[in-house]
Each structure stands twice: as C-alpha cells, then as structure tokens.
Structure 1
Amino acid sequence: MNAMAALRQYQNVNTQSAVHDASPHRLIQMLMEGGLSRIAQARGSMEREEFAQKGMLIAKTVAIIGGLREALNFEVGGELAHNYANLYDYMSRRLGEANRSNDVEILDEVSGLLRTLKEGWDAVAQ
C-alpha cells in the first residue's frame, strides 16, 4: 500500500468515526461543510476546465443538499421546514444550471446561500 492509499484509508476511517460519534446537529453541520467544500472544489475544477471532475463534484453537492432536505421534519418544522425544502430545491436546480453552463457565479450564489444557512445552524449549537 502506498502512502496516498494509506492516507485515504486513514481519512475514511476517521470520517466514519466522526459520523458515528456525531449528534444529529453535528451531522447536519458536517453535511453543510461537505457541500461547501464540494462547491469550492467544483469551482476550481471549472476554472481549470476539468469538466468531468466538476460534474462529479456538483453531483456530490446535489446529493448532499438532498440529504439536508431529507433531514427536514415537516411535522415539527411546519412552514419553516417547507421554506428550507424550497430553498434546497432551488439550490439543486441552480447547481444543475451551473454544471450545464460552467458558470462560477452560480456556484458562488449557491455557496453563499449554504454558508448563510450553516452560520445560522452553527449559531443554534451555541
């Protein structure tokens, strides 16, 4: 096993451990962090014209946003949960547009929305 493979294995085990030990609130934070990271990586791939990589990273971001949407509790959250669901749907559609048009401004828009949500979510923990 080479050093890079060992590092990836260590990171995978470390991530699995962090997910296993995380509270529901922390899991949402981790999803949001992952989404922001993938958007930043997709932006870099777009700028370097690495279109296959960009598409894969945007698809991962859409999946993460889907996970955030699935975590919503409409019975408890009511109108607020529906508003979040609509925002997540909007973000997913915009990411699809960014992928098709190679538009970094759309990635920046979605990143800004997700960052704002994360800041609010982080404040809840405090």
Structure 2
Amino acid sequence: MFSQGHAGASAYARVGVETGVMGANPHRLILMLYQGARKAIAQARMHLQQGNIGPRGEAITKALGIIGSGLQASLNKEVGGDIAARLDALYSYMTRRLIEANVSQSDEMLVEVDRLLATLEEAWIGIGVEAARIMAQQGQVDAQR
C-alpha cells in the first residue's frame, strides 16, 4: 500500500518537473540544472552519512549527469569565449571531485562541489535579474516606436 502511494507521489513530482521544464526559458532551464545537481549532492551526502552505498552512488551519478550532460554540454564555446572555457574547466573539475568523493567516501569533497555550484547558481540568478531588466527596458523602447 505504501509503495503505490509513493509511486503516485513520484509520478506527480515527475509531471511537475516535466511541466516546469517544458514551460521554462533557457535561463530557467540552467537554473533548474544547478538546483538539480545540488539536490543530488545533498542526497549523496545524506546517504554517505547513513552508510547507504548504492543510493549514494546513484545520487552522485545523477549529479555527474546533470553537470556533464546538462551544464557542460550546454556551453557554447565558440560564442562564450573565455567564460565558457573557464566554466568548462570548472565543470570538469567538479566531475573529477564527485568521482573522487564517491571512491573515497568524502563528505568534504561533496561539500566543495556543492559550494561551487551554489556560487554559480547565485551568479546565474543575478544574470537573470539583470537580463529581465534589460529586456523590460528594450520592450518599452520597442513599444514607443
């Protein structure tokens, strides 16, 4: 009985995430990737503390996928120049640290990667606020024409 309720809640959560992704602009999608990676790392830390080896590995694998196949893969290195190159190197570093954290069962390494992601997430939020302000100003200019 508990499993069915849990499955229903899980399905409901998936629909919510899918709906959020489908309705999100590119800026919001990157923010969701940062949040997802951080959530996976939080889960990995919890499983590490509880000694749950399999679920810890699954959570770290999820974070690795989000960073590599989501954040790193979304970089446009041709247009992004030095910033994209530096982010690429930082994402590669995070990937290495997550693998090392899993092998050595290191909470400190998980915390390190989470802090790096938190810093990038905060900066990304700031970029979004500024971009929205610029777009609103541009919309006002276009409406006056």
> Which TM-score band applies after superposition, normalised by the shorter structure?
over 0.9
Is it true that 1:24 corresponds to 2:22 in the alignment? Answer: no
Is it true that 1:44 corresponds to 2:41 in the alignment? Answer: no
The offset of 1:9, in angstroms, is 1.1
The offset of 1:5, in angstroms, is 1.6
Question: Which consecutive residues of structure 2, in runs of 5 or more, have no partner in the other structure?
Answer: 130-145
What's 2:112 paired with? Answer: 109
Give CA deviations for 1:12-43 in whole Å, capped at 9, x if unaligned.
11111110000000000000000000001100
The offset of 1:3, in angstroms, is 1.9
What is the count of residue pairs matched by the alignment?
Answer: 126
The offset of 1:76, in angstroms, is 1.3
Structure number with greater Rg is 2
Q: Which runs of 4+ in 1 moved over 4 A?
A: none
Higher relative contact order, structure no. (Cα contacts within 8 Å, ≥ 6 residues apart): 1
What's 1:118 paired with? Answer: 121
SS in 2 for 1:71: coil
Q: TM-score, normalised by structure 2?
A: 0.85
Give CA deviations for 1:67-101 in whole Å, capped at 9, x if unaligned.
10000011111011000000000000000000000
Match of residue 4, structure 1, among 1, 6, 10: 6
- Tell me the distance in 1 between the aligned counterparts of 2:100 and 2:7: 34
Partner amino acid, structure 1, of 2:63: T
What's 1:74 paired with? Answer: 77
CA-atom RMSD, angstroms?
1.0
Question: Which consecutive residues of structure 1, in runs of 5 or more, have no partner in the other structure?
Answer: none
The offset of 1:104, in angstroms, is 0.1
